[in-house]
């Protein structure tokens, strides 16, 4: 809001192009690169003729037939997979955030023997890429499943526990940082007022960091719901699959490839993640500079 009135220069297309115009050209080019695969999959999903990979121009025909058909396939129960993904994702993300919060509370608020080594080993354990533990996880579940089939291979509970266990290390460390930002004076005051430790944890600290907890849960949900490796190794029964493993069936079998069906499924599966991601953009980008890389 400058008060000096500048004399507006006459519009000059060359000068406009040299200052900002070319930037729009670059922007449009990059956007095209970024978005065309997504438009392609959207277009394929709306293309009714489903026998071949869509080779026509984008959006040549539009119909919702594929989406309808998606929910009517018995051998590929898409609706079931969707439910499984949401159900496993919610339980695993809520569970891991809650367990991490419990542990982080101890690290942040209590002083005990082994606190520093505990924190250090959390950092160290994160460095072991989870995929390298596949053999161990697989054989662990196979052994457990020999006695308790409900917790073993091809069990969703087993998979959830693996997700829970896998994200605890990183989750606790992150949460520890968040809890440290809550001033200790607050819980000291509460203690003086006669609050028990459980009350301080549940009614004060958790409430204060609730927004961060929510973001953390959503991020963990995005992570879990797009996990392919663990789910593909541990689940095999068609009804127990998640989207990440189930959708593959539309395109992996060379004799019954169904691109249109896959595309429709992909669009529906991606929607929640993309939506969450865009909504949480601000938090995610601040987390990015903290060194998190998306898996």
Partner 1 sequence: MAGKKLKAWGEAGPSLSGTLWKLGVLGTVDAIAVTMIMVLVSQELLTQAVLSIFVLLIVNWIYLRKGGLPAKYLTPGVLFLIVFQVYVLMFSGYTAFTNYGSAHNGDKGLAIQTINNAAYRIVDGPDYTINLVKDDSDGSRAFLMTNNIDGQVSIGKDKELPVILEEGKYTLSTECADKYAEDTVNCAKAALNADGYTTQDVAALSEVEKSRYLAIRVLTDPENPNVGIRTSEFTIALPSEATLAFDEKTDTFTALVDDEYGNFFAGDVFKPAVDGFYRIDGVLENAKLDGGWRVEVGLANFETIFTDVQLREPLVKVISWTFMFAILTVLTTFILGLFIALVFNHDKLRGKKFYRVIMILPYAFPGFLSAYVWVGLLNRENGFINTVIFGQEPGSEANFPWLLEEGPARLAVLLVNLWLGFPYMFLITTGALQSIPSELNEAAEIDGASGWQNFRLIKLPLLLISIAPLLIASFAFNFNNFTIIYLLTKGGPSDSGLTDYDVGGTDILITFVYKIAFSGTGQNFGLASAFSILIFFVVATISLISFRRTKKFEEIV
Chain positions 73 to 92 lying near partner 1, rule: CB under 8 A, are none
If we measure between CA atoms, which residue out of 57, 59, 79, 60 comes closest to residue 69?
A: 79
Q: How far apart are the first and last CA of the chain?
A: 44
Site for partner 1 contains 102 (CB under 8 A): yes
**Would you mind telling me the total number of residues written for the chain in this entry?**
295
| Nearest-approach distance from CB 57 to partner 1, in angstroms | 7
Could you count the other beta carbons within 10 Å of the beta carbon of residue 196? Answer: 11
Residues 265-294 that bind partner 1 (CB under 8 A): 266, 269-270, 273-274, 277-278, 281, 285, 288-289, 291, 293-294
If we measure between CA atoms, which residue out of 217, 21, 195 comes closest to residue 101?
A: 217
| Nearest-approach distance from CB 147 to partner 1, in angstroms | 5
Task: Return the structure tokens found at 101.
Answer: 């919060």
If we measure between CA atoms, which residue out of 93, 86, 88 comes closest to residue 218?
A: 93
Residues 191-230 that bind partner 1 (CB under 8 A): 191, 194-201, 222, 225-226, 228-229
Helix/strand/coil for 57: coil
Residues 21-40 that bind partner 1 (CB under 8 A): 23-24, 26-27, 30-31, 33-35, 37-38, 40
| Nearest-approach distance from CB 34 to partner 1, in angstroms | 5
The window from 6-14, 73-81, 95-103, 206-214 that contacts partner 1 (CB under 8 A) reads: 95-103
The window from 51-59, 62-70, 71-79, 207-215 that contacts partner 1 (CB under 8 A) reads: 51-59
Main-chain dihedrals φ then ψ at residue 156, nearest 5 degrees: -70, -30
């Amino acid at each position: 809001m400058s008060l000096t009135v500048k004399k507006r220069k006459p519009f000059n297309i060359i000068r406009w192009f040299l200052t900002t115009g070319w930037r729009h050209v670059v922007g449009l080019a990059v956007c095209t690169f970024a978005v065309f695969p997504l438009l392609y999959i959207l277009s394929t999903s709306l293309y009714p003729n489903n026998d071949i990979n869509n080779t026509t121009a984008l959006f040549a025909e539009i119909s919702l037939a594929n989406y309808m058909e998606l929910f009517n396939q018995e051998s590929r129960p898409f609706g079931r997979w969707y439910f499984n993904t949401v159900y496993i994702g919610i339980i695993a993300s809520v569970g891991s955030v809650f367990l991490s919060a419990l542990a982080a509370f101890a690290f942040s608020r209590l002083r005990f023997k082994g606190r520093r080594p505990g924190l250090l080993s959390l950092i160290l354990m994160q460095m072991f890429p989870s995929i390298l533990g596949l053999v161990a996880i697989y054989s662990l579940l196979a052994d457990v499943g020999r006695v308790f089939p409900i917790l073993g291979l091809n069990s969703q509970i087993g998979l959830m526990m693996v997700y829970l266990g896998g994200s605890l290390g990183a989750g606790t460390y992150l949460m520890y940082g968040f809890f440290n930002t809550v001033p200790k004076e607050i819980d000291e005051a509460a203690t003086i007022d006669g609050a028990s430790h459980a009350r301080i944890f549940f009614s004060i600290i958790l409430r204060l960091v609730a927004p961060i907890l929510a973001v953390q849960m959503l991020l963990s949900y995005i992570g879990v719901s797009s996990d392919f490796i663990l789910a593909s190794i541990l689940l095999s029964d068609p009804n127990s699959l998640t989207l990440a493993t189930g959708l593959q069936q539309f395109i992996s079998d060379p004799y019954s490839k169904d691109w249109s069906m896959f595309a429709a499924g992909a669009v529906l599966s991606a929607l929640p993640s993309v939506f969450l991601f865009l909504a949480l953009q601000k938090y995610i980008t601040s987390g990015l500079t903290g060194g998190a890389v998306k898996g």
